[in-house]
A and B are shown apart, each in its own frame.
Chain A
Amino acid sequence: MAEISDSAAGDGVSREEFTSVMTALEPDQIVSAKEHHHCPRRDLTGREKVVFWALRIYLIFMVGVVVYQIWTGVR
């Protein structure tokens, strides 16, 4: 059974609310747990980096095309 500290209980969280959170939420749903434990970073492989950059260049190029279309449209 979980322990409720006196000071914490005094802050206004009732025993019912405490029990409710404990039983209804999964461990990694608790906000403070999520704040303290983030997903570890992963290293991208060379191939993944190439795909990431290719799509980034594609996006920049295509936005240029949109700007060109607007420019010709306005003219």
Chain B
Amino acid sequence: MCGGIFFLTFLVKSMKEPKTAADLRGGSALESNLLSRENDAVVITHEDIDRAHDREQVSASRARRGLRPRLRLFWLLIGPGILVMLGENDGPSMLSYAATGARFGIGFFIPFVILTFLMACVVQEMTVRLGAATHRGHAELIFDRFGPFWGWFSMIDLMVGNFLTLVTEFIAIRAGLGFFGVRPVVAVSSALLVLAVALMTHRYWTWERIILSAAMFNLVFVPVALLAHPDWSAVGRAVLTWKPLPGGLTQDTVLILLANIGATVTPWMLFFQQSAIADKGLTTHDIRMGRVDTVLGAFLAAVAAVATMLATAPLFLHHMAAANFEAAEFAQALRPFIGYWGAALFALGMFEAGMVAAITISTSSAYAFGEVARRPHSLNLPFRQGQSFYLVLLIEAVAAASLVLIPGIPLVYIVLVVNVIAVLAMPPALLFLYMLVNDREIMGELVSPLWANVLALGVVTVLIAAGLLFGISVVAPNALALIGGK
């Protein structure tokens, strides 16, 4: 059965269900178009069969009452939201949080990072609705609705950003395993092997569960933070007062500010979550659970992020600055305060952050490529049918991994600019999302309500303001004094 594409023709008329997405959202142009062509021949693929199998389990759980079926439904539907949020707690993000804790201690950045995760929830909720309503990926919708001119712009943004980010993931992998004395070439090759093995399942559901399990290791930063014995009253004061901000608003502070925003909201997240929702087969009935999934993911990721800052706060208290990201210096610098096992957990966390993100980010590139090139794009595809999908994924990962191994490449600069570039690329990406999610022709009644639009525009405003602040700090650092900086 798993050999190739199996064909079956049938009448679209017979596919009508008592309550379809079109019924629920008042019928979109896209769906009307589909339903009106009742005599078109439709082909069933292996991908359809796998997805249908997953959906049957969801329907069976939904049909039953009681706590157990509810929990089962929750288990079946969670995934894309948690994966995207914990995936974004990636190598450069964890390094940003670690640098923040070491540079600023417990203060302004604790509530600030929590705020950035709230911003991420606002943005990602839109992709949940868009994916569930259209069953299509983000890149595909941009190309279809806005044409190839704007579609290619968004693809170039995504591909450049993803490749640079992937490089940093392998830097984190190398640094994390480097703490244990693993040679760079062995560390990077092992990571590529893990990535390839996860793909061999050829099943979205299995792949998602494997990566979810791995992503949970992101919470390894929590015990590391506890080993650092943080001052909880200082944490409480920081959350309530957003203070202190040692050194005030300087060029350095602005860079960290931008890096922390870029650590939570980035373009690849939009593309990944929407495509994953389409691949998982979520429908409009699942939007509420999709939101729960997203908020839960943001909560877990925020806990890990804050824990990382708390873990490195002792470096601030003892005036030790870790600046060399290449040599797992954070873990080594923390060893006197949290012991060998604490430092080892920290290094393991860095490896995990890079590993999970390398998988999710390369997958988002492969989804986007398949959607734009009109090639099969699903983790449910056997290798022969999804060759281009899997090859794009693997080639991008191998290219990024190889770059990390070239001696003399300025890896530190790549790490520093990746999150900044992510913040700068976010407003154009958000504009596409904003317009799509307010497009009544494809969303029907599921267009964004006023409150969601206000929040989304608020996020865009914050991102543009942060970008401009960064520009001012670089081009005219003295101008920061005009807005209360130094």
Contacts and interface: CB of A to CB of B under 8 A. Distances in A.
Contacts of B22: 27-28
Contact of A59 (B146, B428, B441): B428
Among B44, B146, B420, residue most surrounded by chain A Cβ atoms (within 10 Å): B44
B12 A33 contact: yes
B463 to A, nearest CB: 10
21 contacts: A2-B11, A2-B15, A5-B8, A8-B6, A11-B7, A21-B52, A22-B15, A23-B52, A25-B281, A27-B17, A28-B22, A28-B30, A28-B31, A28-B34, A39-B29, A39-B144, A40-B30, A41-B147, A42-B145, A59-B425, A61-B471
Given A17-B49, A35-B374, A68-B474, A27 B16 contact: yes
Given A24-B59, A39-B30, A55-B428, A18 B10 contact: yes
Contact of B435 (A24, A48, A59): A48
Contacts of B30: 28, 37, 39-40
Contacts of B420: 66
B14 A22 contact: yes
B48 A31 contact: yes
Contact of B410 (A7, A56, A74): A74
Contact of B48 (A25, A36, A48): A25
Interface size class of B (residues with CB under 8 A): 35 or more
B445 interface: no
Contacts of A24: 51-53, 55-56, 59
B7 A8 contact: yes
A26 B135 contact: yes
Main secondary structure of the interface of A (DSSP, over half): helix
A26 B21 contact: yes
B362 to A, nearest CB: 22
Contact of B153 (A28, A32, A56): A56
Contacts of B410: 74
Among A4, A28, A36, residue most surrounded by chain B Cβ atoms (within 10 Å): A28
A55 B467 CA distance: 12
A20 to B, nearest CB: 5
Among A23, A26, A41, A58, residue most surrounded by chain B Cβ atoms (within 10 Å): A26
B134 interface: yes
Contacts of B355: none
B44 A30 contact: yes
A29 to B, nearest CB: 5
Contacts of B340: none
A42 B135 contact: no
A37 B47 contact: no
A38 interface: yes
B309 interface: no
A32 B428 contact: no
Given A38-B140, A58-B428, 20 more contacts: A8-B7, A13-B6, A20-B52, A25-B48, A26-B17, A26-B20, A26-B283, A27-B15, A27-B22, A29-B48, A31-B43, A31-B45, A37-B37, A39-B29, A39-B30, A39-B136, A39-B144, A40-B29, A41-B144, A62-B467
B457 to A, nearest CB: 12
Interface string B354-397: 00000000000000000000101010000000000000000000
B469 to A, nearest CB: 11
A52 to B, nearest CB: 6
B10 to A, nearest CB: 4
A42 B435 CA distance: 11
A31 B135 CA distance: 10
A13 B424 contact: no
